[in-house]
Structure 1
Amino acid sequence: MNLQISEQKYLELKECVKKWLISINNKEELPEDIVALNFGLYEPYGIELIGAKEYNVEDDDWACEEDFEPNQRYCPNFEIDDTIEWEYVLDTVVKLLKELIVELDYLNILNVQHITTGFCDGDLVVIK
């Protein structure tokens, strides 16, 4: 079983998410009342984005509130081999989101108070 994501694959995934975020930012306006974004992971491995008007660190269900759903909710071309263990996928997404938040700090869409990621049936990881 393949347990890791190669550096080349990591860079491809990061570029894919970067283009996706820039596209959303350029085509849509984030409502002022959105305080949190969740980058939801699902299997086979993919990533989607929703925004919420409320955030509660004690309650992961806040991430089910779809107060903002971009037209391009799902990241196109985000492909990870399904033989890679979910923990590695989560670690990879956490790392690339942390890097992109710094690199793309000029994007309005990332200027929310809270950003998380995780699988819908697991605990969320706080990115910001």
Structure 2
Amino acid sequence: MWLRKMQPGAPSAVDCLNRTAGSRYPSLEPILDAAELQRTAVDFNQWLAEELNKKPVPSRTRALNFGLFEKETGVGLYMAESKEWDSEDDDWACPPYDEPARYAPRFKVYDQVQQWFQVNKDVGVLGSIGITTFLIISAFPRLHPRQLPDVWVTTGFDDGELYRMGRWTKDGWSE
């Protein structure tokens, strides 16, 4: 939940993520670039809006998972819908999904985080989840309320734990 409370704006999010990674590994160079994160936020907003315009999320959907997976060149991102939700058991987010997952295009900011994975996997995971959280909190308020039903939102790596961001309603985020 702490990630969702990052201040809006790419510079503060980048500072938060670079500082967090650097506090654990002082020799780790700040690699995230605010301009690249801002470009990625614009691209993510456009991708998500296009996906939701092509095929709205069904009203029966109870949860959205913004899944992450490691690729050779960085991190990949997809959105999966589920009519299941269980706050105690992440198995609801496992394939097969109710609808095919919607894969995002390659975002360069995830390539930057690949360097953190080489230093320490946990730092790479934290950076990737932080970026995804920033993208989601930047995009959701810009969407028309009818584009997203009342849903729980999570993010995380396919082979790890999911991080619950909260519940998105037409009035915004709630716990």
Q: TM-score, normalised by structure 2?
A: 0.64
Per the TM alignment, residue 107 of structure 1 is displaced from its structure 2 partner at its CA by 5.0
Are the counterparts in 1 of residues 90 and 162 from structure 2 also a CA contact under 8 Å? yes
Per the TM alignment, residue 17 of structure 1 is displaced from its structure 2 partner at its CA by 1.3
Deviation string for 1:84-114 (max 9, x for gaps)?
323111111112212222232x154433321
Match of 2:91 among 43, 58, 61: 61
Residue 102 in 1 paired to residue 141 in 2? yes
Q: Which has the higher strand share?
A: 2
Deviation string for 1:61-104 (max 9, x for gaps)?
1111401225xx11113232221323111111112212222232
Residue 90 in 1 paired to residue 90 in 2? no
Q: For residue 107 of structure 2, what is the aligned residue in structure 1?
A: 78
Are the counterparts in 1 of residues 56 and 148 from structure 2 also a CA contact under 8 Å? no
In the alignment, the residues of structure 1 paired with residue 135 and residue 104 of structure 2 have an alpha-carbon distance, to the nearest angstrom, of 14
In the alignment, the residues of structure 1 paired with residue 35 and residue 83 of structure 2 have an alpha-carbon distance, to the nearest angstrom, of 36
In the alignment, the residues of structure 2 paired with residue 40 and residue 23 of structure 1 have an alpha-carbon distance, to the nearest angstrom, of 18
Match of 1:50 among 80, 86, 94: 80
Structure number with larger C-alpha Rg: 2
RMSD value, Cα: 1.9
Q: For residue 118 of structure 1, what is the aligned residue in structure 2?
A: 156
The number of residues matched between the two structures is 125
Residue 40 in 1 paired to residue 67 in 2? yes
Per the TM alignment, residue 3 of structure 1 is displaced from its structure 2 partner at its CA by 4.9
Are the counterparts in 1 of residues 155 and 163 from structure 2 also a CA contact under 8 Å? yes
- Structure 2 unmatched runs, 5+: 1-27, 117-123, 167-175
- Structure 1 unmatched runs, 5+: none
In the alignment, the residues of structure 1 paired with residue 50 and residue 89 of structure 2 have an alpha-carbon distance, to the nearest angstrom, of 30
Task: For residue 114 of structure 1, give the secondary structure of its aligned residue in structure 2.
Answer: strand
In the alignment, the residues of structure 1 paired with residue 129 and residue 30 of structure 2 have an alpha-carbon distance, to the nearest angstrom, of 12
In the alignment, the residues of structure 2 paired with residue 100 and residue 109 of structure 1 have an alpha-carbon distance, to the nearest angstrom, of 12
Higher RCO (CA-CA < 8 Å; seq separation 6+): 1
Q: TM-score, normalised by structure 1?
A: 0.85
